[in-house]
A and B are shown apart, each in its own frame.
Chain A
Amino acid sequence: MSVLRAAAQKIPGLAPGIFFFALMLDAAAGSALDLAVDLFGEGQWAAARTESLRARAEASGPEVDRARLLADVSALRMGSGREEAKSGLLALWRSESTDLEIRCMAAYEWGRADGADGGTNAPSALEFAYLQTRDTPLFWRAGCSLYFCLKADRKLHREKPVVWQSLQSCRDAWPPEVWRECTPSKKGVSMAALPGQWVVAFYRAQIGPAIGSRCDLLPSCSEYFLQASRAHGLLGVPLMADRFVREPSVVSARERPVTMPDGRIRYADPVSDHDFWMKGKGK
């Protein structure tokens, strides 16, 4: 299981919209899905999902399946309704009456999601997409994803010698951008940002609940420190000290008030106002 999980972590991310543009290009001009596709391409997941659902209600024929696919993938990207979206994609993948390219796309997206959740069926979904699709970008990405999956799992690798051999011979054809997308990313919190995170986690768990919300600035001081340490590592410490010193002046100046949902007024003081001059921040 742990091997599978490790393999799953290596399943690549997908640049938004890349496939869908290709997939939707053959949709009739003036399709009800045009707007949803545009929104998806722009990374506006929630709006794309709403538009897809609207288009699904109005569409007929194969357009319904496209709308379902887009709605489910948007939901996956949003991170909400994940299980529902996954079961929708699984149903699309398994439905033999659905257009094959849509099934391949659904299999690919389901495989990624299942792999990320530590499921065991990601390789079979990716293999389906890899072997069945006629869409070149999907072929590359499904192949590359499957390659990393099999590479991380020796048992699976031995069970599928033909596929492995095929991937080995195809890999030279994958363009650099596919490799870039598919190479396991090592995004994480930098070591320098870790102490800041610990301090904020301790404050939020042990001190914050006892003293309540006392900060009059937006973002709150703990959030400011978190953002500053993420952006600048240990330099977050003097940024935070400077903010503590400035806080009364910012509040008394009453510039840029923001009304919070609970009606309380806070004053905007984002990190970007205090690091705009650092290298690479300002223009």
Chain B
Amino acid sequence: MKTTILGLCAVWTAGCAWAADPARLALDLDAERQREAAAIEFRRLALADGNAENAARWFWLAAYEYAQAQQWELSNQMLDRVEDAAPLSLSAPVAWRRAENAMQEKDWTAATFHFDSLRLKADADEMREFAARGSAAARLRGKDVAGARQALEDAPGDLGPAHAAIDRYAGRRDKKPWVGGVLGIVPGLGYVYSGEYANAARSLILNSLFIWGMAETAEDDEWGVFAVLTFAEFTWYSGSIYGGIDSAQRHNQRRLDAAAGDIRGEKKLRPDLAQVPLFTLKFEF
């Protein structure tokens, strides 16, 4: 009897805890990095919540989880639902998430717009600085160097390193992919143009070996082997030309990534989920 009563008490307590914290499952899934499952749980809570503002918060959390799962389109759809449920209630978090999603989707114009919008909506200097940095990075990625400089003007905080990153980027030139391709006609030279010396050496060795093999087999009238080696050499040779172009593109991309990373700095924004559906955005280093 005593055991039964204790058991019932335990079940009741667990039931109460569940009722008091309906987001437990979603938060546990978030902690286990099961982002899509957590997003679905947040959506379930949003649909079940009669309070429009809370529903909007649940939807925002679902958008955040989808973004963590790299599902940018679904994340944007959830942000649409945030705005449908309670327009204007979460304007700054929505602008931030839309801006980050646009950055991931390489839509620099949209990212710039949403970061600028976040800067206008932000109520703290730290957030305004973050938004200005984001806007500058998005503009730089869109190849608008002057716009990137302009985005940092009048922004609060220490933006010296961000200005320096833009100056460094603007002070050097991009590698020209067509030059890399032309140089790639000489096996390995395309890679050298972009500073990839190890790749250049491998390309040169492989091409030399196969060309030597072709010459030897032709000399010995072994036309079957010659045909096989010619096909393989065609592969390596076309790879050298393509590699010349692609390595220049990679070089430019790395340069841009480094500059954009320096502009944005070390600060990362994260929601504090301790009191969901209420949440605050906090900076992390």
Contacts and interface: CB of A to CB of B under 8 A. Distances in A.
Interface residues on A, range: 20 to 34
Contacts of A237: 234-235, 238-239
B30 interface: no
Contact of A47 (B40, B203, B238, B253): B40
A78 interface: no
Nearest to B231: A237
A240 B239 contact: yes
A277 B203 contact: no
Interface string B236-274: 101111110010011001000000000000000000000
B134 interface: no
A248 B203 CA distance: 12
Contacts of B238: 237-238, 241
Interface stretch (B14-22, B150-158, B194-202, B213-221): B194-202
B43 A35 contact: yes
Interface string A235-261: 101111110111011000000000000
A39 B243 contact: no
B108 A238 contact: no
Interface in A65-95: none
Main secondary structure of the interface of A (DSSP, over half): helix
A245 B47 contact: no
Interface string A42-82: 10100100010000000000000000000000000000000
Nearest to B188: A245
A241 B202 contact: no
Contact of B239 (A38, A238, A276): A238
B40 A238 contact: no
A153 interface: no
B203 A30 contact: no
B77 A238 contact: no
Contacts of B235: 237-238, 240-241
Contacts of A240: 235, 239
7 contacts: A35-B43, A237-B239, A238-B242, A242-B243, A249-B198, A274-B250, A283-B107
Interface of A: 30, 34-35, 38-39, 42, 44, 47, 51, 235, 237-242, 244-246, 248-249, 273-274, 276-277, 282-283
